[in-house]
Amino acid sequence: MIQIFLNELPLAVAADTHLAQLKAEHAPQADLAIINGFPASDEARVQDQDRIVMIQRGVMPDRAQLEALMMARHTPGVHKKVSQSRVGIAGVGGLGSNVAVALARLGVGQLILADFDLVEPSNLNRQQYFIDQIGMPKVEALKANLKRINPWVQIEIFAGRIDAGNLGKIFTDVDVMVEAFDAPDQKALLTATHLKQAPDCPLVAASGMAGYGGSNQIRTRKIRKNLYLIGDQQTAAQPGCGLMAPRVGIAAHHQANAVLQLLMGKEPE
């Protein structure tokens, strides 16, 4: 007997097993088989420790299958913590929409998304929306997109403006808060209000990611207890120096990685 991994679950099989036998017994509807990352024919013989994925085109894996696949990639300990977490994202433009996509792909259990804005044509240069979503509330469009990535993530949305009076009600019991606004006054209001109302909940903010300057200028810094700031802290959007996908995406993924580190009990760096 040898051990293989079929859709990331361990399985003991005879040493002379062919792919056709596996398909007939475990996935008769599958029309595509991948062995160790490469498409394979039914005549292929499996080897010890092979990782085999069988797919039926157009059919979504169920929750248990997707959990197993993600757990195998993240390791069980990491995935368990991530899947039980709750993260708030204030603003779902260039920063927030990219952070949300990264966290959904990680398998974060619950996301709370808040924004008052609609999808505009100018957003498409850096934000996670599609042309046919122009005019939709961003939170509704993003929720639909995230559900296509990971249908098992629980998503709450708030389509409206955030202020000192409703911040705590919208983002109740979050493990980490993400500030992803464009306007400096909104950033300042959210940061001050959150740190006052929820001093024990980490806040991951961002400032300075416009233009196409150096990637390595974008850094993660700890400003004070439970406040982390991502960006170069200098480069603001202005004529000739707009917000574009590469640097905004770098900053957003710094934010997403800082969230992951915090969920795992590590200090962001």
- Domains annotated for the chain, with CATH where assigned, are 2-59 (3.10.20.30), 77-263 (3.40.50.720)
* Residue 168, both tokens: 């705590």
Q: In the prediction, which pLDDT does 42 show?
A: 87
Q: In the prediction, which pLDDT does 46 show?
A: 92
Phi-psi label, residue 157: left if phi above 0, alpha if psi -120 to 50, beta otherwise: beta
Residue 59: helix, strand or coil by DSSP? Answer: coil
Say how many residues make up the chain: 269
Q: How many CA atoms lie within 13 A of 67 on its CB side?
A: 13
Q: In the prediction, which pLDDT does 240 show?
A: 83
Please tell me the distance from the alpha carbon of residue 70 to that of residue 64, in angstroms, as a whole number: 10
CB atoms within 10 A of CB 257: 18
Q: In the prediction, which pLDDT does 147 show?
A: 97
Q: In the prediction, which pLDDT does 131 show?
A: 98
Q: CA dihedral defined by 186, 179, 213, 215, rounded to 10 degrees?
A: 170
**Helical pair 138-149 and 94-106, crossing angle rounded to 10 deg:** 30
Helix (H) or strand (E) holding 4: strand 2-6
Q: How far is CA 236 from the centre of its chain?
A: 25
Q: In the prediction, which pLDDT does 228 show?
A: 98
pLDDT in tens, the chain (269 residues): 999 998 888 999 999 899 999 999 998 988 888 898 888 888 999 999 999 988 888 888 888 878 877 877 788 788 889 999 999 999 999 999 999 999 999 999 999 999 999 999 999 999 999 999 999 999 999 999 999 999 999 999 999 999 999 999 999 999 999 999 999 999 999 999 999 999 999 999 999 999 999 999 999 999 999 999 999 988 988 888 889 999 999 999 999 999 999 999 999 99
Helix (H) or strand (E) holding 33: strand 32-35
Q: In the prediction, which pLDDT does 75 show?
A: 80
Q: In the prediction, which pLDDT does 63 show?
A: 81
